[in-house]
Amino acid sequence: MKSYQIYIDGKWINSVTGKTFQSLNPANEEVIGEFQSCNSYDVNKAVDAAEKVFSSWSNLPAPKRGELLLKVANLLREDKERLSKLVSLEMGKVYKEASGDVQEAIDIFEYMAGEGRRLFGITTPSELKDKFCMTTRNPIGVVALITPWNFPIAIPAWKLSAALICGNTCVFKPSSDTPLCAIELVRILEKAGIPKGVVNLVTGKGEDVGNSLIKHNKIRMISFTGSRDTGEFILRNAGLKKIGLELGGKNPIIIMDDANLDLALEGVIWGAFGTSGQRCTAASRVIIHKKVKDKFEKMLINKVKKLKLGDGLNKKTDIGPLVNKRALEKVHNYTQIGLREGAKLICGGKLLNKKGYFYPATVFTNVTKNMRIAQEEIFGPSLAIIQVNNLQEAIEVCNSVKYGLSSSIYTKDMSNAFKAMKEIEAGLVYINSSTIGSEVHLPFGGVKQTGNGTREGGLGYEEFSEVKTIYVDYSGKLQRAQIDT
């Protein structure tokens, strides 16, 4: 069995603990490799390495940092096929989606490379004569990046690219379900010529590594993507750090009575069952007009029953496995909850007698908005159908959850579309498209308990930089704003 190391100060080393953990292929439960179980001592070494080189890295002109990020994008492009297979192997998603995961990383590194020649501030007139006012963007310092398993290349790339272009140095802690994807990404950064200490990788349990990062007094910022509960823990324990949180979702697709049902069907299948429902933007609720509910359900059942479960590397597979046994048990537990609540199971919902963490596409109907399966994030291939009488009721049901990440409406009526755009409480709204499909040059994030208002993607440089306001008074005398008018 191959054993992998962590990356600190430009060197691949073992953890001081001497302990390791295993990463499994979720399609067959076979061991992929052994990885270092780090502790606070390893974290301290990584933070010290990042702190040591912060000055030199942040003083490198941003366009030069951009050139390095462009090298990363090109190396990812050259290695896309191998990395895509690795994502599918370690995380479980089907190959086409794994390829999209890597493509996102290519795109965001390429995009952020261009930000090296922007990172715009503003100039504005002063209220006083012979005085100049402007703002600049400045790095924060040593930042901790804590990433999930469902996009094991893309999400780390979103954070790393934005943090690096702004001049920060990084300590990167990936999910323990996908450590090999993280290692391969860091190897590409190393190959591109990232200076020693600028990016450091530590692996291990959240309670050991994550806690140490969250509470570390030299860490100036935490960027976290993951569960709402962990996000709350970070806010309670991080102290006076800048915090970026991208948490859960309970995303709706509204289908109006005038919708193109064939198009809506494609969007629901993709949104609910793409990545086996393991996306924060997955469509877990269909809010549908009563006039078309029965017809759409028949279309949906017919389509869902044809979906093939299997290894993501098999070209015939439509739905890959869930990431681990805990995820499988959680999804099935929600099926039992839905049945107890009185929802009608019309498809799936059964544990399969096969190796791997597979769960069939599951659909409930006759769901009411207050049922747990309509309120809580399941993070699996489970869909709740909720009937409504009109658009206003649809929007009320849409907004009845604590999350507000992604949303969608299918309608041919522009009045419906614009009303939904205005009134839906979500960071992302799609018209006649699924809840999945964010592009890297646009901001990504949600409202309410989906996060704390930060945005990644196209506005990632805002999350990973601080604004400095500068006044230049060349009048040769003391001028007092608000007094000497």
475 falls within a domain: no
CATH code where residue 421 lies: 3.40.309.10
The strand ranges marked E within 351-464 are 362-365, 382-388, 403-404, 408-410, 430-431, 443-444, 447-448, 456-457
CA–CA gap between residue 99 and residue 185 (Å, rounded): 14
Rg (CA), the chain: 24
446 falls within a domain: no
User: 305 and 234: one domain?
Assistant: no
User: 349 and 427: one domain?
Assistant: yes
User: 426 and 327: one domain?
Assistant: yes
Give me the pLDDT at residue 1, please: 85
C-alpha torsion 47→48→51→56, nearest 10 = -120
CATH code where residue 118 lies: 3.40.605.10
User: 30 and 61: one domain?
Assistant: yes
Give me the pLDDT at residue 484, please: 87
User: 49 and 91: one domain?
Assistant: yes
CA–CA gap between residue 288 and residue 98 (Å, rounded): 31
> Which H/E stretch holds residue 481?
none
- Marked catalytic residue, from 280, 297, 347, 398: 280
Closest by CA to 122, choosing from 473, 483, 419, 468, is 468
Here the tokens at position 233 are 């823990």
Which 8-state DSSP code applies to residue 208? I
Given CA atoms 70, 67, 150, 88 in this order, what sign does their dihedral have?
positive
User: 220 and 302: one domain?
Assistant: no
Helices (H), 152-209: 154-165, 179-192
Which 8-state DSSP code applies to residue 433? S
Which 8-state DSSP code applies to residue 451? B
User: 427 and 457: one domain?
Assistant: no
481 falls within a domain: no
- Contact predicate 361/273, CB 8 Å: yes
Domain count, the chain: 2
Our answer to whether residue 246 is catalytic in this structure is yes
484 falls within a domain: no
Our answer to whether residue 181 is catalytic in this structure is no
Which one-letter amino acid corresponds to residue 422? Answer: K
208 falls within a domain: yes
Roughly how many angstroms between the first and final C-alpha of the chain, as a whole number? 75
CA–CA gap between residue 81 and residue 36 (Å, rounded): 26
Give me the pLDDT at residue 442, please: 97
- Contact predicate 407/428, CB 8 Å: yes
Give me the pLDDT at residue 248, please: 94
Give me the pLDDT at residue 485, please: 72
User: 411 and 459: one domain?
Assistant: no
Which 8-state DSSP code applies to residue 256? -
Which 8-state DSSP code applies to residue 195? P
CA–CA gap between residue 23 and residue 181 (Å, rounded): 11
281 falls within a domain: yes
- Marked catalytic residue, from 97, 246, 377, 463: 246
User: 170 and 281: one domain?
Assistant: no
Bridge partner list, 471 = 133
User: 314 and 338: one domain?
Assistant: yes
What pTM, to 2 d.p., does this model score?
A: 0.97
CA–CA gap between residue 348 and residue 384 (Å, rounded): 12
Which 8-state DSSP code applies to residue 274? G
User: 210 and 239: one domain?
Assistant: yes
Here the tokens at position 395 are 């929007």
436 falls within a domain: no
Q: What domain range is 24 assigned to?
A: 6-247+451-469
474 falls within a domain: no
Cα separations (Å) of 459 from 92, 111, 160, 456, 463? 29, 11, 13, 5, 7
Q: Is 80 helix (H, G, I), strand (E, B) or coil?
A: helix
Cα separations (Å) of 266 from 151, 222, 262, 270, 435? 22, 37, 7, 6, 12
Give me the pLDDT at residue 327, please: 98
Per-residue pLDDT in tens (0 to 9) along the chain, 485 residues: 899 999 999 999 999 999 999 999 999 999 999 999 999 999 999 999 999 999 999 999 999 999 999 999 999 999 999 999 999 999 999 999 999 999 999 999 999 999 999 999 999 999 999 999 999 999 999 999 999 999 999 999 999 999 999 999 999 999 999 999 999 999 999 999 999 999 999 999 999 999 999 999 999 999 999 999 999 999 999 999 999 999 999 999 999 999 999 999 999 999 999 999 999 999 999 999 999 999 999 999 999 999 999 999 999 999 999 999 999 999 999 999 999 999 999 999 999 999 999 999 999 999 999 999 999 999 999 999 999 999 999 999 999 999 999 999 999 999 999 999 999 999 999 999 999 999 999 999 999 999 999 999 999 999 999 999 999 999 999 999 999 87
User: 17 and 84: one domain?
Assistant: yes
